[in-house]
A and B are shown apart, each in its own frame.
Chain A
Amino acid sequence: MMTGLEITNLKVGYSRNEVIHGLDLKVNPGEKVALLGANGAGKSTVLRTISGLLTPTEGSITFNGEEIGGSNPANLVEMGVIQVPEGRRVFPGLNVEDNLKVANYGKSPDLLEEGLEAVYKKFPILQERRKQAAGLLSGGQQQMLSLSRAIIAKPKLLLIDEMSLGLAPLLVKDFYEQLADLFSEDVTLLLVEQNAGLALKYCSRFYVLRNGELVLESNSEDYKDNPTALQSAYLGVD
């Protein structure tokens, strides 16, 4: 049953600190949706919950009809739920190729061959530096590597957490322009971003989160010409 990602009344927190106070969100199969908000709004918490790093205290998360809230991350990876973590999170001590191999963990080596070929074709610089420790790569190259791991993992539901963090604006723009090219059309995508301008160019729909609550849900089209409304939803100032 292809119903995409459906989140109903999700509540999550760290120990006693509830960060998300009842979130409803839906991403249809193949749809590209952005989750926006200033930092501290709880966006990353939502992604970490979907990918199994956090367990919801209440509510449900389903992907294609199957309940996935509180599942083990490894099982979710098997289902095709793949997260590109905030801050890239490459394994700094492993070389580039080993980083990519980890993304194929538990799957057949043939798939890895295929994946590596695809990745190296898209990012030749990674092939060039494939024996180098990932910690020595520049920020942009690390982001390439982080995205490449997701490519190899063959996502059905892709979660990207704040690609713009700590990268030069021009570089970030590049990555967003490449996204469509990197992943196939039918990948369902939920993108967390603080940088609304870039995300809206790529995603058809978006949600805005503030202090753990949804304050706005809309089509990207409607807001292209009305940035002030978005701004006040974001910052809470008029």
Chain B
Amino acid sequence: MVDYIQIAWQGLVSGFAYALIGLALVMVYKTARILNFAAGTMAGISGFLAHWWAAENDMPFAIAIIFAMIMTAVGTYVIERLTVRPLIKLGDFLPIVIMTLGVEELLANVSLLWWGGSAQRYRVPGDIDRINWLIGDFRLNAWHVVVAGTTFVTLSIVGYVINQTELGLGMKAFAEDQDAAKLMGVKESTVSIWTWVLSALVGGVTGIVYAPVLFLQQDYMNIIFIKGFVAAILGGFLSLSGGVAGGLLLGELEAFTIKWAPREFAAALPVVIVFIVLLIRPHGLFTREKGHERV
């Protein structure tokens, strides 16, 4: 029994990461119909920045994180203005995806040049990522508790922004009907920039809290990015809560597959899931099919 709880908890801890990145991806896709291929690398850079300020410049842990988040927001602002915005007006979305691919290539190489290719440990105060409590036979890592807490706080903040603020209302309206939203005075450029920044911040938080779990390596967030995407597909890609639920589900599925299935299969699991979901429910597990499209 404890075995199962242990696996379930492990699944949840990975699931939180997928959920957060899934959420970040869905956010941008829903409001702007853009997939951001640079999302994983951007999140990784946030992690590196926090590490760099704390470990190499002796900044207090918390301050380093705040600096990293500010840099993430500023960087995202610049990326959105310089690369995405000029293409939005053309109205064709494939070039924008290709553009984010270019940004991904650029950023991945910037981080590679800056930090090199080797893996580094991300140190947290008191090394609490090395503290394990034993509750009966159940092993609980202290940092995993922090991960869970951060996830809840992040989800609550996003939930608050989306549901309680005027900006969130504008984002939702814009996602539902761009023209109607514009006619109500919602500014496209404001919504777009804030969506990108918010999404990048969620990614940044994920990059930072998972850095101690995964080790800092140049492409350490790529795997989370892929699985976050699978989470988003599970959730139907247009539902924020669906993306989160999809992430948690994927985490659990993965944890239990690793336990019982051969390793080749466990590695292929995400793609298998994508194929199955697309086959039986292309609109996701948690959302109903949208109506018609006019020809």
Chains A and B touch (C-beta atoms under 8 A apart) = yes
Residues in chain A near residue B176, CB distance under 8 A: 91-94
B136 → chain A, closest Cβ, in Å? 45
Task: Say yes or no: is A149 at the interface (Cβ < 8 Å to chain B).
Answer: yes
Task: Say yes or no: is B253 at the interface (Cβ < 8 Å to chain A).
Answer: no
- Pick from B166, B173, B180, B182: contact of A74, CB below 8 A: B182
A-B contact pairs, 20 of them (CB 8 A): A53-B179, A53-B183, A72-B187, A73-B185, A77-B185, A78-B185, A82-B183, A85-B179, A85-B180, A85-B183, A89-B180, A89-B183, A91-B176, A98-B173, A102-B169, A102-B173, A102-B184, A105-B169, A105-B173, A105-B184
Most chain-A Cβ atoms within 10 A of its Cβ — which of B170, B182, B186?
Answer: B182
Task: Say yes or no: is A11 at the interface (Cβ < 8 Å to chain B).
Answer: no
Contact between A106 and B177 (Cβ–Cβ < 8 Å)?
Answer: no
Task: Say yes or no: is A153 at the interface (Cβ < 8 Å to chain B).
Answer: yes
Output the nearest chain B residue to A51 by Cβ-Cβ distance: B183
Task: Say yes or no: is B181 at the interface (Cβ < 8 Å to chain A).
Answer: yes
Contact between B172 and A105 (Cβ–Cβ < 8 Å)?
Answer: no
Task: Say yes or no: is A32 at the interface (Cβ < 8 Å to chain B).
Answer: no
Output the nearest chain B residue to A53 by Cβ-Cβ distance: B179
Task: Say yes or no: is A101 at the interface (Cβ < 8 Å to chain B).
Answer: yes
Residues in chain B near residue A98, CB distance under 8 A: 169, 172-173
CA A82 – CA B185 in complex, angstroms? Answer: 9
B193 → chain A, closest Cβ, in Å? 14
Residues in chain A near residue B185, CB distance under 8 A: 73-74, 77-78, 105-106, 153
CA A82 – CA B180 in complex, angstroms? Answer: 11
The residues of B with any CB-CB pair to A shorter than 8 Å are 166, 169-170, 172-173, 176-177, 179-187
A70 → chain B, closest Cβ, in Å? 13
Contact between B181 and A102 (Cβ–Cβ < 8 Å)?
Answer: yes
Within 8 A of B (CB), among A85-130: 85, 89-94, 98, 101-103, 105-106
Task: Say yes or no: is A83 at the interface (Cβ < 8 Å to chain B).
Answer: yes
Residues in chain B near residue A94, CB distance under 8 A: 169, 172-173, 176
CA A102 – CA B180 in complex, angstroms? Answer: 10
Q: A72-B187, A153-B185 are in contact. List 15 more A-B contacts (CB 8 A).
A: A51-B183, A52-B182, A53-B179, A74-B182, A78-B185, A85-B180, A91-B172, A94-B169, A101-B169, A102-B184, A105-B184, A105-B185, A106-B185, A149-B184, A153-B184
Residues in chain B near residue A82, CB distance under 8 A: 183
Output the nearest chain B residue to A99 by Cβ-Cβ distance: B173
Q: Mark A142-153, 1 if CB is under 8 A from B, else 0.
A: 000000010001
Contact between A93 and B183 (Cβ–Cβ < 8 Å)?
Answer: no
CA A101 – CA B186 in complex, angstroms? Answer: 11
Contact between A105 and B180 (Cβ–Cβ < 8 Å)?
Answer: no
CA A142 – CA B181 in complex, angstroms? Answer: 16
Residues in chain B near residue A83, CB distance under 8 A: 183
- Pick from B170, B173, B182: contact of A73, CB below 8 A: B182
CA A92 – CA B291 in complex, angstroms? Answer: 12
B89 → chain A, closest Cβ, in Å? 11
Contact between B187 and A102 (Cβ–Cβ < 8 Å)?
Answer: no
Contact between A91 and B183 (Cβ–Cβ < 8 Å)?
Answer: no
B285 → chain A, closest Cβ, in Å? 18
A148 → chain B, closest Cβ, in Å? 12
- Pick from B172, B180, B184: contact of A93, CB below 8 A: B172
B184 → chain A, closest Cβ, in Å? 5
